[in-house]
A and B are shown apart, each in its own frame.
Chain A
Amino acid sequence: MAGQGSRIDDTMLIREAQRGNRAAFEELVRHYDQAVLRLALHLTGSEPDAQDIFQEAFLKAYKNVGSFRFECSFYTWIYRIVTNLCLDHLRKRQVRKEDAPVTTDASGEEYSLLDQVPDGRAGANPERDLMRRQLGARINGALEKLTPRERMVFELKHYHGLKLRTVGEILHTTEETAKNTLFRATQKLRGSLADMR
């Protein structure tokens, strides 16, 4: 997460960006763009959707950086924008009931996200690879059954390692509510994946 030094850098860059310095904003983007894209990609499972969310999030930030009042870190602020966009996306997808484990790349081709994770282990074999993919599909299926908000809290806590206090700040709620949502999400996931252990 952003350390003290980077917070100071951010403050200077934000002030410059607020004066209309685009280069400063682009530098600011560089501090967070990989994390933002990773979150969007993990939540949407689709490269084009993740790119759209990335683009919209930083454009929103650019247009509204003038109203940033340093009441939270830039990190929290940009994550707040991204998670809101991702929540909208998840809600729309829930309505459409899309098939979660299958994703699409930039050219519109369908593939499994897990297929893209390189298997660098020596002696990797097709059987183990197949099992790994089946496991991934089961986990994806279980994650898809969560409500968008439960999914978001679980993602931010479990896969991105954020503190519950930060999760609460990002989602405009209390640490206690984030904690309860995490409990609920975990219970549901344990129920869905009970036969896997």
Chain B
Amino acid sequence: MKNIKSLLAITTFALAAVAIQGSANAQQANDPKFNKMMKDGFRAEGIAGLDRIDQDATQKFCSDPMFANSKQAEKMREKIQKMNMDSIKQPSDGKYIGDWLNGEKIAQSGRGATWTDKADTPVGGGCYNCHQIDKKEISYGTIGPTLWNYGKLRGYSQEVVTYTWNRINNSKAYNACSNMPRFAHFKLLNEQQIQDVMALLLDPASPVNQ
């Protein structure tokens, strides 16, 4: 009798533990109240339409970092990364490296895509907002890693070139919830501009690699 009781107690405890574990690691439930708050909370302004808060699968997944970073979410992370990887196009002209001087200009500009911008306002890469790149620019952010001596440190192999191309085109291919925008996916930068930013990082003549 005593044994049955303790068995029962252990089972109950185990079940409760599973339940707690489960709820802590499940993706947050859809909440109609939250959805309504978001829907009613914004209005379209200029080029910034309400479709900007219609989340795609990646955005939805990453809006729940507790779950997204959990062990339970590993498979889902891989799925999201694969989906983003599959969307990347290699350069149509086979050229990966453009003009670093123009790449520096793109890296400097953080403009574009806000409701105070026009549809034809060129969108900058905003790279210096988050990364150190050319050491001469002291006004740089620290959300991303330093890119100083990017090619010099990693070499200029095709492997490094392709990885960098992919990373700029769609950073979520490697890290599902990377803080870096998906520049090609959302057409923030075109192919030519990405080639130019590539040159800033991977042209041996670029000031970044001196």
Partners in one complex: no
Q: Which residues of A contact B (CB under 8 A)?
A: none
